[in-house]
Structure 1
């Protein structure tokens, strides 16, 4: 048979109708199957006795093939009764550790050929070290410095960057009652405080398990989705229709449902697109392509292939491709692709971009299909200042600008680094070279009055969001501190005065008693 299994499965075995198969009847199948009640059927319609060579004499009649190194090693049926699993010999001292699967070379959990549950740095364990351990002395859960995450059948110190941490496990997606957040560059599942952002199944996942492409029959499943758990695939049978399955062409307007999508956990595969749509702006909110599953085993997380009508990508929010390669081929009208700094989107050094046979960049320049002058050297996704990967000067929302409205303009702003932030509407505009605000937000002061028991007039604008940031408003913090210190000082003086008074009164009583006793 040419294999060498030592533990097969909990299910049964059925071997039949293999006319060239040898040695199917020389295997001790009961030694391999875990469940002793499993059905076992090896029928004689294989080629076991017709021209097959015998097992080597050292195999005692049990082998996978005729060679000396193809003997079957028995790890279950030869064990002592005291062994609760498998063994490496017939004696009580030859029992494998109970976490071993498929035999072992010794009695320890590090001697296993394979693990029943999890492999923790070479040792087979029931579960990976948990993030918290119970301290029986303090009766408290304490952080475990040796904690690890469950990743498949292994215990790892940290999850792969394109997976999500849920409790102590690495998962592809959060459950329906949790949402994905990122803390310290670690993606985690946390319970939703209210309604979770809408997570939808991608093509080939969950409710769309049998779907092969986005089409007219399933596109409504993506309405109001913010995250796609899986992949988005666009094939010609989805765009043009599938007569065989009775599915009509897809109305291009319906593709606007994807404007709410911010993340695709798998890959984006575009091999067909409506002829009247010259860009992919329906994905203008897409920020992350996770690459947790990759296209067809080829390691691709973004594929755009043979689209004659697309002239620009317009992925204006895309800032991360967590895993997988980019493959953009044979798009005869596509421009701007060569300006994009793709490596700034990648999370690992092994990711690659493969771009060929698109429109010649020289032709794009001749047609003025170039980045806006407000864009930095990182490039752009399309024409206009709102398609830049990053800005040369400042950014207002998604649009790159030359400067912020610090001293003029209908709406006044302040600058936080290279980002223009709008002043609160309750800040009065200042004239000349005076800024209207130095920060965003307003929590204590409105245009003329402060809400609450005290009323303050505010005509002079502000330099920040707090009450003491009002121009002309004296900072009352020192006064409050001085008042507290003064009050404490008065309390101490009063306490000392009372103590002195009580002591003097006590001394007078003692003196009067002494005189009385002397006269007696």
Structure 2
């Protein structure tokens, strides 16, 4: 384990300009829907060029408003104390065709990927002789929240050398997320804190489902389960969804597209 930690530190410290070799797997299903906003994703891994601020701004530009990453989701080098890092630009990503790599953060903050459902793993992140679909390495995050993660189709999972008391929040069992692959497919150093999508022991005051085994009621706009009390914490929406929030109807400047509310560029207000 000491060798593994040393390898991580060296990789993050040297900032070599050469990206790591990627493993490809021919998994044909794309998962793209007509309502997705597709971005190319990153082709690199632990390497970068330029300053921390340049790299952060490039990352923000790459993934903002993206729902489908046709490549890898890579967020690294959050190490400049003069930058007020804000990772909410990741909130709409629901599908990653390659791997997810989060590495190198000095900030004490939460990382939330509230919409991420599938990590396809058509490319995996090679590390320590293994191939990973999800890797969170050398961070001071207080928590990593993946409330909607359903599947990692290919590659293992590793959380290593992070803040000792990091909380890892998922709603499903890791066995079901990695589809019951071989033992050792999930290596997490930290506190695993599963979120219950619903509970059979809801208090009578809850008209529908509840979360955390009766800790509170799901919002009235939730269908199925939830992982918190707000309309942004629903497993699925009863009526419509706008940027991850469940609504009873779409705002006036939006139009309905299935169950989603999309901005209407022709709206001028009034009639």
**Larger fraction in strand:** 2
Say which structure, 1 or 2, has more relative contact order (CA 8 Å, 6+ apart). Answer: 2
Give the drift of 1:329.
Answer: 1.5
Tell me which residue corresponds to 1:258.
Answer: 90
Change (3 A) 1:229 1:413: closer
SS of equivalent to 1:257: helix
Aligned partners of 1:218 and 1:341: how far apart in 2?
30
Change (3 A) 1:211 1:404: closer
Give yes or no for the alignment of 1:328 onto 2:159. yes
Give yes or no for the alignment of 1:316 onto 2:144. no
Give the drift of 1:302.
Answer: 0.8
User: Where in structure 2 are the equivalents of 1:29-68 lying within 5 Å?
Assistant: none
Say which of 99, 118, 127 aligns to 1:288: 118
- Contact kept, 8 Å, 1:216 with 1:250, in 2: the verdict is no
Aligned partners of 1:262 and 1:270: how far apart in 2?
16
Change (3 A) 1:402 1:268: same
Tell me which residue corresponds to 2:28.
Answer: 163
User: Where in structure 2 are the equivalents of 1:337-348 lying within 5 Å?
Assistant: 341-347=173-179
Tell me which residue corresponds to 1:203.
Answer: 42
Tell me which residue corresponds to 2:79.
Answer: 240
Give the drift of 1:252.
Answer: 1.3
Tell me which residue corresponds to 1:384.
Answer: none
Give the drift of 1:401.
Answer: 6.9
Change (3 A) 1:302 1:350: same
Change (3 A) 1:412 1:252: closer
SS of equivalent to 2:143: coil
Aligned partners of 1:228 and 1:296: how far apart in 2?
19
Give yes or no for the alignment of 1:391 onto 2:232. no
Tell me which residue corresponds to 1:267.
Answer: 99
Aligned partners of 1:322 and 1:230: how far apart in 2?
14
What TM-score comes out, normalization by structure 2 length? 0.55
Aligned partners of 1:401 and 1:293: how far apart in 2?
37
Which consecutive residues of structure 2, in runs of 5 or more, have no partner in the other structure?
1-23, 226-234, 240-247, 249-271
Change (3 A) 1:226 1:211: farther
Aligned partners of 1:338 and 1:403: how far apart in 2?
17
Give the drift of 1:354.
Answer: 1.6
Aligned partners of 1:412 and 1:219: how far apart in 2?
30
Instruction: Kindly provide the CA deviation profile for residues 385-414 of structure 1, in whole angstroms up to 9, marking residues without a partner as x.
Output: xx43x3232796895675999xxxx96999
Aligned partners of 2:61 and 2:141: how far apart in 1?
24
Change (3 A) 1:251 1:325: same
- Contact kept, 8 Å, 2:199 with 2:211, in 1: the verdict is no
Aligned partners of 1:250 and 1:201: how far apart in 2?
25
> Aligned-residue CA RMSD in angstroms?
4.5
Aligned partners of 1:295 and 1:225: how far apart in 2?
21
What TM-score comes out, normalization by structure 1 length? 0.31
Tell me which residue corresponds to 2:64.
Answer: 223
Aligned partners of 1:413 and 1:232: how far apart in 2?
28
